[in-house]
Amino acid sequence: MDKVKDPVFGIGKLDDDLTGIPDKKSVLFFASPAVGNEVFGYQVIHNNLLHGNKVLLYVNRTSPEAYLADMKDYDFEVNSNLHIIDSYSGITGISSKSVDDSTMISNPYDKEEIKKALSEELDKGYDLLVIDSLSLIADFFDFDYAMSVIDLVKDKLDKKGGSVLSLFTDWDYGEENLNKLISKVNAKVDIKGIEKRVIFGQYFAVIKCDWVKDKKFSSVLFKAVKPGGIKIYFPKILVTGPTDAGKTSFIHSASKDAVSVDRLGGTIALDHGNLDFKGYKADLFGTPGQERFDPLLKLLGGEAVGVILVIDSTKPDQFPRAIEMLRKTETYGLPIVVVANKADLPGALSLDDIREHLHLDKNTSLVRTVAENLNNIDPNKPTRLKKDGVDSALDALFAELT
Ligand SMILES: Nc1nc2c(ncn2[C@@H]2O[C@H](COP(=O)(O)OP(=O)(O)OP(=O)(O)O)[C@@H](O)[C@H]2O)c(=O)[nH]1
Ligand SMILES: [Mg+2]
């Protein structure tokens, strides 16, 4: 079968940073024991099948049925371009009949049978081999055997083409072994937790990649969401700006299920919305704009990682207040997008004028937004903003943040 395309990750940030997985490359997803890497594997498999790539999955951690059922929980369907080498069912003696396209290893304790199955299957030509999991091969046998499997696979791929992704959990194999492993792969992505007695965040980070030069990789927080899979996660984005500018309108337009504590059309406590946008997830927090609620601002701004500053394009007299709110929320200096709302109203300033009035440098993102339905604006209620403006603001923000 001809190659359709080089394999992809199907995880936006990794595809952006690494431009997919080039042919004949070996990638390692290296997870700490407390953080699962299996959803990363599911997502890669699913997205390559979607792209029309031929995928071979070597699985030893569960049965093919359970594997595919788990994938389905994330909404990751598979198709006939997937073939599975089942190195699990032989342990239990229960054959995996319900998954047609699989080869069962009759004795998963037989080192030679495993290599034979892999090499025969790889001879048929695949775009991507996923090994789930490589650390379990080391646990079953020993580390050197796991490394010899990688050598065999690389040898095959060198001749036949295709790439390999190995999922690995770092169960203390010793520095020497790990160095051996890392030297054998072209790219390594760490999948870890932020631990302070309990794990309160999970992140991934590209640690090594030999086909991308001169790029600094940043780590990003993620959540594994059912359905949907891996989403880059920002725990707190602050939406602030002067009174009546459109903060609450923005949050309700950008997120599903937003809630606001409003009275007589003004926010008196806060807004909150869950944002789910192009593979990103974030919690949006909105501040009130009226000065009498300023004592709340510092509290609301705490631990924000980025800011959306909403201003009314017709009210330059409020611009100093906008800057003051960045100071009071203690978010001055964080990644920021300025949203110039109410573009429909007479007297709305041009973006250039706004930039000048606000003393924004040329690198600060400034985006126009406007109400969707101009004939139906209630002065006592937030209104829905047009999607293209809101999306541009979010695109700009996530570009700043990642
Ligand atoms: N004409 C026009 N009106 C808008 C637009 N966006 C919002 N509004 C209106 O402006 C008013 C204020 O909007 P909100 O979203 O409540 O503003 P806010 O910034 O949350 O206000 P506070 O919470 O009181 O600070 C509402 O009456 C909205 O319907 C717009 O693009 N054009
Ligand atoms: Mg509000």
What is the full per-residue pLDDT of the chain (402 aa) written as tens digits?
455 578 999 998 899 999 999 999 999 999 999 898 999 999 999 999 999 999 999 999 999 999 999 999 999 999 999 999 999 999 887 766 667 789 999 999 999 999 999 999 999 999 999 999 999 999 999 999 999 999 999 999 999 999 999 999 999 999 999 999 999 999 999 999 987 777 678 999 999 999 999 888 988 999 999 999 999 999 999 999 999 999 999 999 999 899 999 998 899 999 999 999 998 999 999 999 999 999 999 999 999 999 999 999 999 999 999 999 999 999 999 999 999 999 999 999 999 999 999 999 999 999 999 999 999 999 999 999 999 999 999 999 999 988
Whole-number Å distance between alpha carbons of 58 and 234? 33
CA 285–ligand 1 middle distance (angstroms)? 16
Query: 234-401, which class in CATH?
Result: alpha beta
Tell me, what's the pLDDT at 96? 62
Identify the residue whose C-alpha is closest to ligand 1 atom 16.
382
Closest Cα to residue 311, out of 258, 360, 369? 369
What's the residue count for the chain? Answer: 402
Name residue 316's amino acid.
Answer: P
Taking the centre of ligand 2 as the mean of its atom positions, its distance from the CA of residue 254, in whole angstroms, is 14
Bridge partners for 104 per DSSP: 86
Beta-bridge partners for 208: 188
Do domains 12-227 and 234-401 share one topology? The answer is yes
User: In angstroms, rounded to a whole number, what is the distance separating the alpha carbons of residues 402 and 159?
Assistant: 37
Nearest CA to 368 among 383, 346, 352? 352
Report the candidate in 237, 265, 268, 238 with the shortest Cα–Cα distance to residue 249: 265
The Cα-based distances of 126 to 52, 131, 379 in angstroms read 11, 13, 61
pLDDT of residue 1: 47
Q: How far apart are CA 337 and CA 400, in angstroms?
A: 8
Domain boundaries, the chain: 12-227, 234-401
Ligand 1 atom nearest to 377, measured from its CA: 29
Name 364's Cβ contacts closer than 8 Å, sequence gap at least 6.
Answer: 336, 337, 338, 355
Tokens of 327: 């100071």
Name the token pair of 271: 């807004």
Tokens of 43: 């997502």
Q: Which CATH class is domain 12-227?
A: alpha beta
Angle at 46 between CA 152 and CA 137, to 5 degrees: 35
Contact 340, 369 (CB under 8 A): yes
**Predicted local confidence at residue 178, as pLDDT:** 97
DSSP string, 7-76: -----HHHHHHH-S--TT-EEEEEE-TTS--HHHHHHHHHHHHHTT--EEEEE-SS-HHHHHHHHHHTT-
How many whole angstroms separate alpha carbon 146 and alpha carbon 137? 6
> Which residues contact ligand 1 via a Cβ below 6 A?
243-249, 265-267, 288-290, 310, 341-342, 344-345, 370-371, 377-379, 381-383
**Burial degree of 151 (CB within 10 A; 0-12, 13-18, 19+):** exposed
Nearest ligand, measured from the Cα of 260: 2
Model confidence over 67-124: pLDDT tens digits? Answer: 999 999 999 999 999 999 999 999 887 766 667 789 999 999 999 999 999 999 999 9
Q: Tell me the CA–centroid distance for residue 399 and ligand 1, in Å.
A: 26
Query: How many A from CA of 323 to the centre of ligand 1?
Result: 19
Q: How far apart, in whole angstroms, are the C-alpha atoms of residue 199 and residue 191? A: 13
